[in-house]
Amino acid sequence: MTNTILFLQGPASPFLKKVADTLQSKGWKIHKLNFCIGDAVMWWPKSADRFSQPTAELNAFLTQYILDRGVSDIVMLGDGRSRHAEALKVGRALGLRIHVFEHGYLRPDWLMIETRGPSEQNPDSSGRPDVKDTNMPDTGPQSRTRSIYYQSFLVSSLYDLAFHLPNVFFGRLVHPHYRTHGPVHPLWEYAGWVRKGLLRKSRVRQAQNLQARYLENGPDYFLFALQLVGDYQIRNHAPAGDLYGIVNGAIRSFARSAPSHCRLLLKTHPLDNGLHNWSRHIAAEAAKYGIEDRVDVIDGGDLEALIDKSLGVVTVNSTVGVTALLAHKPVLALGRAIYDQQGLTHQSSIDDFWVKPQTPDTGLPEAFADRLIEVTHFRGGFIGQPAMEAGGRNLAERIHANAAKTTQDVFPLASSFRYENELFRPSDLHAGPIPT
């Protein structure tokens, strides 16, 4: 029986075409559904169908589309987008295999896949990696962490423009009901990048000076790795989906419990476009508790060096958490995180973390990383021909292998998150509208 796969949205690059080419070579039948002109641009010159109706009609449309074409599998980039979330419901109802891929938890050059089998109705965390398992492949630290592919920011930006600009200027003609999955309009996001680019020299200089203060016989400090406000890891897997509230709660806790000689350094995400003025917001929040002289924000800097010198790392559920664990640093995860497990992360309260942070058990971070590689992670990237060729081929190989499984024995990433009900109390969250 021929496997028939439906491709939904992928990254802003031709990555999905590489996956399709490999699957076709293995005898798979390929279908592609475009939701916007940008999807068509990235899939060209391959043929595709399109969905241009209101989102409310997607469930019925997908159901009939899948039945008419005998679709057995669906593949998508993440399941947070509303259209993908709806496709997930349809796929489950029809008993399809659903392959969700994302950037990996290991950096750089790693991607990951979660396959949800047709027998899965109410997934649990029984498939999460058992980090106590010593039957690990000998990948070694170098193969885990070394960079293989060059990721060009310029090429990534050009692909992003090629995806979004046709939607902005011509999208309503073909897909009148399409709305971007991002939290802000693409043109507004580009305006933030333009402003950030104009201020680059001063921003780099400030980051270098601040980093030098911390690294060159600097103070004892904790590092808080910020994520993107609109990241689905924040919107769907963090307390109240509110990064501002989480930051406010962490600062309040630091003021309440951290030793007076310690500092808190918050590092912005490298893809933060500057639309959110973290420096101003954090300075104002720290001033409420009289600790403005103990809290800094750095936009840039060497992440690994800052982790290495820190007393511990705070994150919501960023991949930085895994990086810090592999550096054998205490890590506090404030949201739902795949690596938030006994023996890896700090398992007591946030107030306790500033005083007595729990370090990971010897060997467990490496075992966890190796287990990720074994069951979900593979090399590749979304930008650059070598990275796309390898990533597309490896993703296709994983899809092909996972489709051959008759039971749900593939690590369910999205279902393995552990809610934190007590470690970061709701009372620590910002109550009220998100500041701008």
- Residues 45, 46, 52, 54: is their CA dihedral positive or negative? negative
Q: What is the pLDDT of residue 183?
A: 65
* Phi, psi dihedrals of residue 34, rounded to the nearest 5°: -95, 135
Going by pLDDT thresholds of 50, 70 and 90, the confidence category of residue 100 is very high
**Domains of the chain: residue spans and CATH:** 4-150+377-410 (3.40.50), 199-367+419-428 (3.40.50)
Decide if pLDDT at 70 tops 80.
yes
3-state secondary structure of 353: helix
Q: What is the pLDDT of residue 192?
A: 67
CB 175 within 8 Å of CB 35? yes
For 246-273, what is the mean pLDDT?
Answer: 93
Residues constituting the chain: 436
Distance, CA of 436 to CA of 192 (rounded, Å): 14
Determine what percent of the chain is predicted with pLDDT higher than 90.
Answer: 56
For 343-349, what is the mean pLDDT?
Answer: 95
For 312-333, what is the mean pLDDT?
Answer: 94
CB 65 within 8 Å of CB 96? no
Q: What is the pLDDT of residue 193?
A: 63
Place of tokens 């007076």: 260
Between 216 and 294, name the one with better pLDDT: 294
Distance, CA of 105 to CA of 434 (rounded, Å): 28
Between 237 and 284, name the one with better pLDDT: 284
Q: Which of 47-56, 78-87, 119-128, 422-431 has the lowest mean pLDDT?
A: 422-431
**Residue 345 exposed, middle or buried by CB count within 10 Å (0-12, 13-18, 19+):** buried
Place of tokens 């039945």: 67
Between 178 and 283, name the one with better pLDDT: 283
Going by pLDDT thresholds of 50, 70 and 90, the confidence category of residue 423 is very low
Residues ≥6 apart with Cβ < 8 Å to 371: 129, 130, 131, 133, 136
Write the pLDDT tens digit of every residue in 278-309: 899 999 999 999 999 999 999 989 999 999 99
Of the candidates 96, 92, 355, the one whose C-alpha atom is nearest the C-alpha of residue 222 is 355
**Bridge pairing between strands 49-50 and 4-7:** unpaired
Decide if pLDDT at 79 tops 50.
yes
Q: What is the pLDDT of residue 177?
A: 81
How much is the mean pLDDT over the chain?
A: 83
Write the pLDDT tens digit of every residue in 149-165: 887 878 888 888 888 88
Determine what percent of the chain is predicted with pLDDT higher than 70.
Answer: 82
Going by pLDDT thresholds of 50, 70 and 90, the confidence category of residue 418 is very low
Write the pLDDT tens digit of every residue in 48-69: 999 999 989 999 999 999 999 9
Decide if pLDDT at 228 tops 50.
yes
Q: What is the pLDDT of residue 124?
A: 33
Distance, CA of 16 to CA of 9 (rounded, Å): 9
Q: What is the pLDDT of residue 153?
A: 78
For 71-78, what is the mean pLDDT?
Answer: 95
Going by pLDDT thresholds of 50, 70 and 90, the confidence category of residue 222 is very high
